[in-house]
């Protein structure tokens, strides 16, 4: 949702009017975006469960349930006087193939927004090949084997590498539909930038007929939209004042995003690992973070063990936190939004991916950009302590911090007037006007 609103803000600032079609579930707050028009599309769906398989099934079912309501609401918009000539295009998430088909049937050009990396798109597109060559569905004994056709990936880093049987089948369906949406669109917008993924972007362009616009990082490009205004969770800005009292680069920021969850044993080991590291920390602890627990209560004794050096909040203004001078490291699930925000802030990462493209993102953080390290395998508090100290206190960690600062500079250069992303934004605007 954040990249979509960032893109809306970018286009609105360049003279486009914006109408937002949204489902009943996870509906944005129109009052946060008074400059846009909002059209609700009834979805008739129960809330999605946290389990990734349930989320995939939810996305596929959402395509079906929203098809007719979206058709009706788009037709009504197009029937307004002069509207058909005024509507330039539909920009849709690449997982909404059904709705993109509806728009094309009504004569509206479609652009697909890919909110992940260029590398993850290549994994989507390579899925049939990966299945044909036996990498997927995965075999336990082969999880650490390299994928020779797609370095730096191992089998365990691939999309769907933890799935088999029915789970593998529905993941394959989701990936194939997303690739079809991107290939049949009038153009693909990717939230990345050339200096971060030059080779992968070149490969995407070779693979796709439609033009590709890498215009990221979108949270830096948009003057109007912000993560705060698109967030579905209430942000605690008090943590910024707390950060003001901490030494530069001393605080470990811990957040596993809005969807990822952990088991109770991992949660306890994480807590005691953070406590044992001795490192100042800011921990985002969503009430639903722990599977099967609605309150994510910290273990007895944690507060006493960390008194005076930590803060726990239910949600944080992440862009502002990462940009704060006191933050020296980010323990992240490696969702693409979080990864890109950390890159742009020049903050090295401790990676603990959970599902989807997160494993591949973590692989790039550690082995391509060398701006962090991964925490793999079963969590144990001693291993957690060691990883935190390595990131925050060692010479290795300082080298990761230096690499992270270099990536920050590259991101800033891409958004300069003559930078690659700024140039591509101009190309995108011209392209939309010519559709």
Whether omega before 137 lies within 30 degrees of 0, making that bond cis, reads: yes
Number of domain units in the chain:
2
In a domain, 264, yes or no: yes
Instruction: Look at the block and give the residue holding tokens 């693979």.
Output: 207
For 384-398, the pLDDT digits (tens) are 999 999 999 999 999
Domain that holds residue 92: 2-230+417-434
pLDDT band of 317, cuts 50, 70, 90: very high
For range 157-175, the mean pLDDT: 86
Tell me if 327 is assigned to some domain: yes
Burial 282-305 (b: 16+ CB within 10 A, else e): bbbbbeebbeeeeebebeeebeee
Extract the tokens encoding 173.
């369906």
In a domain, 44, yes or no: yes
- Residues 303 and 364 occupy one common structural domain: yes
60 with 111, same domain: the answer is yes
Asked whether residue 225 falls in the same domain as residue 244, the answer is no
At which residue do the structure tokens 């969702």 appear?
335
With a cut of 70, say whether residue 225 has pLDDT above it.
Answer: no
Q: Domain check: are 48 and 122 in the same one?
A: yes
Has residue 297 been placed in a domain?
yes
Collapsing DSSP to helix, strand or coil, 326 comes out as coil
**Residue 165 half-sphere exposure, CB side, CA atoms within 13 Å?**
2
Reference 95, options 118, 113, 82; nearest CA is 113
Note the pLDDT of residue 232. Answer: 66
Q: Is residue 195 part of a domain?
A: yes
CB neighbours of residue 45 within 10 Å: 15
Q: Give the distance, in angstroms, between the CA of residue 21 and the centroid of all CA atoms in the same chain.
A: 20
40 and 183 housed in the same domain: yes
**Residue 403 domain-assigned?**
no
The verdict on residue 404 lying in a domain is no
Whether residue 95 is contained in a domain is answered as yes
Alpha carbons 1 and 227: distance in angstroms, whole number: 9
Give 229's pLDDT tier (boundaries 50, 70, 90): low
Residue 91 bridge partners (DSSP): 111
**Average pLDDT along the chain:** 93
- My answer on whether 73 and 161 are in the same domain is yes
Angle at 230 between CA 211 and CA 44, to 5 degrees: 85
Interatomic CA distance for residues 161 and 137, integer angstroms:
7
| pLDDT per residue as tens digits for the range 169-193 | 999 999 999 999 999 999 999 999 9
Two tokens, residue 201: 């972007």
pLDDT of residue 48: 64
- Rounded to an integer, the average pLDDT of 145-159 is 96
321/287 same-domain check: yes
Reply yes or no on whether the pLDDT at 292 is more than 90.
Answer: no
Are 210 and 233 spatial neighbours (Cβ–Cβ below 8 Å)?
Answer: no
- Is residue 154 located within the same domain as residue 205? yes
Confidence band (pLDDT; 50, 70, 90) for 372? very high
| More reliable by pLDDT, 50 or 313 | 313
Q: Which pTM was predicted?
A: 0.94
Q: Of 291-295, 348-352, 360-364, where does mean pLDDT reach its minimum?
A: 291-295
The backbone torsions φ and ψ at residue 383, rounded to the nearest 5 degrees and listed phi first, read -65, -40
Is residue 175 located within the same domain as residue 100? yes
Same domain, yes or no, for 165 and 279?
A: no
* CATH code, 331: 3.40.50.2000
Write the pLDDT tens digit of every residue in 375-427: 999 999 999 999 999 999 999 999 999 999 999 999 999 999 999 999 999 99
- Is residue 116 within 8 Å of 218, Cβ to Cβ? no
How do residues 81-137 score in pLDDT, each as one tens digit?
Answer: 888 889 999 999 999 999 999 999 999 999 999 999 999 999 999 999 999 999 999
**Whether residue 217 has a cis bond before it, omega within 30° of 0:** yes
Instruction: Among 113-122, 157-166, 424-433, name the one with the lowest average pLDDT.
Output: 157-166
Q: CA angle 208-1-22, nearest 5°?
A: 100
Buried b (16+ CB within 10 A) or exposed e, 307-335: eeebbbbebbbbbbbbbbebbbbbbbbbb
Same domain (yes/no): 117, 242: no
Q: DSSP H helical segments within 154-193, as ranges?
A: 165-184
166 and 88 within one domain: yes
Residue 154 pairs in a beta bridge with 146
């Amino acid at each position: 949702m954040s990249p979509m609103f960032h893109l809306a803000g970018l286009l609105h600032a360049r003279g486009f009017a914006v109408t937002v079609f949204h489902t009943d579930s996870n509906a944005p707050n129109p009052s946060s975006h008074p400059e846009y028009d909002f059209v609700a599309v009834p979805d008739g769906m129960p809330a999605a469960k946290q389990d990734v398989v349930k989320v995939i099934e939810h996305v596929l079912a959402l395509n079906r349930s929203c098809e007719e309501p979206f058709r009706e609401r788009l037709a009504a918009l197009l029937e307004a006087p002069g509207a058909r000539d005024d509507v330039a295009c539909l920009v849709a998430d690449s997982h909404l193939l059904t709705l993109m088909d509806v728009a094309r049937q009504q004569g509206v050009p479609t652009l697909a927004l890919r909110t992940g990396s260029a590398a993850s798109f290549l994994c989507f597109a390579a899925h049939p090949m990966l299945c044909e060559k036996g990498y997927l569905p995965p075999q336990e004994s082969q999880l650490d084997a390299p994928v020779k056709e797609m370095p730096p990936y191992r089998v365990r880093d691939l999309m769907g590498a933890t799935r088999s049987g029915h789970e593998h089948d529905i993941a394959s369906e989701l990936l194939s539909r997303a690739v079809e949406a991107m290939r049949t669109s009038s153009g693909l917008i990717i939230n990345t930038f050339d200096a971060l993924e030059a080779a992968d972007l070149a490969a995407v362009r070779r693979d796709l007929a439609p033009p590709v616009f890498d215009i990221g990082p979108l949270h830096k490009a948009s003057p109007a939209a912000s993560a705060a205004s698109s967030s579905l969770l209430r942000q605690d800005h008090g943590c910024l004042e707390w950060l003001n009292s901490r030494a530069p680069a001393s605080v470990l920021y811990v957040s596993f995003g809005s969807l990822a969850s952990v088991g109770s044993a991992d949660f306890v080991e994480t807590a005691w690992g953070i406590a044992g590291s001795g490192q100042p920390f800011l921990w985002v602890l969503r009430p639903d973070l722990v599977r099967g627990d609605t309150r994510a209560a910290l273990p007895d004794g944690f507060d006493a063990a960390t008194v005076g050096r930590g803060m726990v909040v239910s949600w944080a203004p992440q862009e502002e936190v990462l940009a704060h001078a006191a933050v020296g490291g980010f323990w992240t699930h490696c969702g693409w939004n979080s990864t890109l925000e950390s890159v742009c802030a020049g903050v090295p990462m401790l990676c603990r991916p959970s599902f989807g493209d997160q494993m591949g993102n973590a692989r790039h953080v550690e082995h391509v950009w060398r701006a962090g390290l991964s925490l793999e395998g079963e969590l144990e508090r001693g291993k957690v302590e060691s990883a935190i100290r390595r990131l925050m206190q060692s010479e290795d960690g300082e080298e990761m911090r230096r690499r992270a600062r270099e990536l920050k500079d590259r991101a800033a250069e891409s958004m300069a007037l003559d930078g690659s992303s700024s140039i591509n934004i101009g190309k995108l605007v011209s392209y939309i006007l010519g559709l």
